[in-house]
Amino acid sequence: MQTYVEWSSHEPQSGEYSWSGDNDLIKFVEIAQEEGLLVILRPGPYICAERDFGGFPYHIKKSIPGMKLRTRDPSYLARVDEWYRILFYYMRPLLYSNGGPIIMIQVENEYGSFGCDKEYMAAMRDITKKHAKDDVVLFTTDPRHSIGCGSVEGVYPTVDFGVTVDPNEAFKTLRKIQPKGPLVNSEFYPGWLDFWNEKHHEVSSEEICKRLDQMLAMNASVNFYVFHGGTSFGFTAGANAENDGNKYTVDPTSYEYDAPLNEVGDPTQKFFDIRNVIGKYLPLPSRAEGVPKPTPSPKKAYGKVDMSCFLGDVFDFIAKFSYPTISKEPMTFESLSQPSGFMLYSTNLTIQPTDPVLLKVPGLRDRAHVFVNRQLQGILTREFDIYSLPIMASKGDMLEILVENQARVNFGKAIDETKGINGKVWLGNKAIESEWVQYRVPLHEASTLEQWIDSKSCESFVDAKSSHRSPSFFKGTFDIESESDLAETFLELKGWRKGVAWINGFNLGRYWPVAGPQVTLYVPKVKLRKHNTIVVMEHESSPCASGRGGCHVELVDQHIVNGVVPDTL
């Protein structure tokens, strides 16, 4: 078994560490050992994995302004050294030489695709050795075209590739770097990642099995990435961008990946096909030995849930849970210790603009609702290079820009960006010079959301908010008769456009069915109970106004990750 270690999960705020609940890495590795699995540990500190900021904690750059990630910058290496000191305090007892299951540790992660600094890689090797201490194999992982830059003396190089690459060619490149030793494909891709607004990626089982058969016939070692497609719950999904930060594409909540085990953990046909290939080279466990055949877990469709309980809009939420920070220019999420979600930027116009005037936010990261006197003017979006829109405004009016951090970039040079509004905002050809007031929207804090729910009574959305559109909160409840009826299920949001959903305080992640390809959100059985509460923060347009087909969501027993994407792309 191979697993990444996500730094941001274990240090969500600077100096505050988490090793319990979903972050109990120790228990996870121990369970692997109990199941007879050996473990390959990939501690990063950069992991990519289509996760927000490639697994780095959002606060890493705030502590030391100007820090250069993944370089020899002494401040960066010192920060990694401190993180590894804490991480390996927990991991050292689990190394193979200490009786644990961890047999290999990765140094960095596909560094050759980022840079070519051998001294940096040597420093990462030495930091890893310093904290692992015990006798353990260190390795690197890189695509064949960059393995020369990603490898380092004293660390075993491996290569990664999918079905489009001939194993003979890939391993020939590896042999130029490492003449002897095992041939290892440390990331063999059985599928591929998705982006919102793009079709779901699939790789045929036939192609996978053909390449796997080739590699096993060569006596090569193969690790699937990923064997089990998971979920980027909450705000943890990442994004891609070209090196200049353009062509921004965002990963959906689902990390289904067309993997042998799907997002819920069920075996697919690809799983059984791969198993058959492996059976040509290794003995397979049998039912005669007491090993049951893998079967899908039970699913349940709990039906429609009424969501007509309107809790208020984002401005109500801000008024109760946020406080102003005033500055001459807009401040970033990072500078205000806001890891994810939203930030509201507000200013009163001190100039008289033309009628209309073009509002320009060239430093937007990533999506913004623009309001004048609380009236929605339109939406800006980095994904489609829409950084300006005409607005109607006068001197003295209140301009508000509600910025959504859709996801930090997880791959390439653009990983070093900051979120929110970077730089000035313009009206026509004149920069706004009046003071900006920033309000954090702390949706990442579960306790804050609970307070919000407990403090609000239900209103009618149509009666309360008929005059304008703004991101709004809706609540619904449903009951399950007994614990024996608890099962995996999926949240379908027909008629809803874009937003975030929670169940019993747990953030299921972002939904965006009109963008596709993901339509439903996975609801794990372990997050359900007899009495359940669903909260939806709809960013754009809910079906709760009259004539929109009903104000509800539905819990269904089928997961849809290959839905229709827009025709206009």
pLDDT tens, N- to C-terminus, the chain (569 residues): 999 999 999 999 999 999 999 999 999 999 999 999 999 999 999 999 999 999 999 999 887 888 999 999 999 999 999 999 999 999 999 999 999 999 999 999 999 999 999 999 999 999 999 999 878 899 999 999 999 999 999 999 999 999 999 999 999 999 999 999 999 999 999 999 999 999 999 999 999 999 999 999 999 999 999 999 899 999 999 999 986 667 999 999 999 999 999 999 999 999 999 999 999 999 988 766 777 888 999 999 999 999 999 999 999 999 999 999 999 999 999 999 999 999 999 999 999 999 999 999 999 999 999 999 999 999 999 999 999 999 999 999 999 999 999 999 999 989 989 999 999 999 999 999 999 999 999 998 888 888 988 888 888 777 665 555 789 999 999 999 999 999 999 999 999 999 999 999 999 999 999 999 999 999 999 999 999 999 999 999 899 876 556 899 999 999 999 999 998 76
For residue 64, the model assigns a pLDDT of 82
CA distance 436 to 319: 17
pTM for the full predicted model: 0.96
* Residue tagged active-site, from 6, 11, 108, 187: 187
Dihedral (C-alpha) 119, 125, 130, 131: value to the nearest 10 degrees?
A: 130
For residue 468, the model assigns a pLDDT of 53
For residue 210, the model assigns a pLDDT of 98
For residue 244, the model assigns a pLDDT of 67
Q: Report the candidate in 148, 32, 9 with the shortest Cα–Cα distance to residue 87.
A: 9
Catalytic annotation present for 110? yes
For residue 562, the model assigns a pLDDT of 97
Which region holds residue 246: left if phi is over 0, alpha if psi is between -120 and 50, else beta? Answer: beta
For residue 63, the model assigns a pLDDT of 78
* Residue tagged active-site, from 110, 256, 263, 400: 110
Which domains are assigned to the chain?
2-227 (3.20.20.80), 303-312+444-556 (2.60.120.260), 324-441 (2.60.120.260)
How far is residue 456 CA from its own chain's centroid? Answer: 30
For residue 9, the model assigns a pLDDT of 97
For residue 178, the model assigns a pLDDT of 95
Residue with the two structure tokens 């405004």 = 393
Q: Residues 6 or more apart from 456 whose CB is under 8 A from it?
A: 311, 312
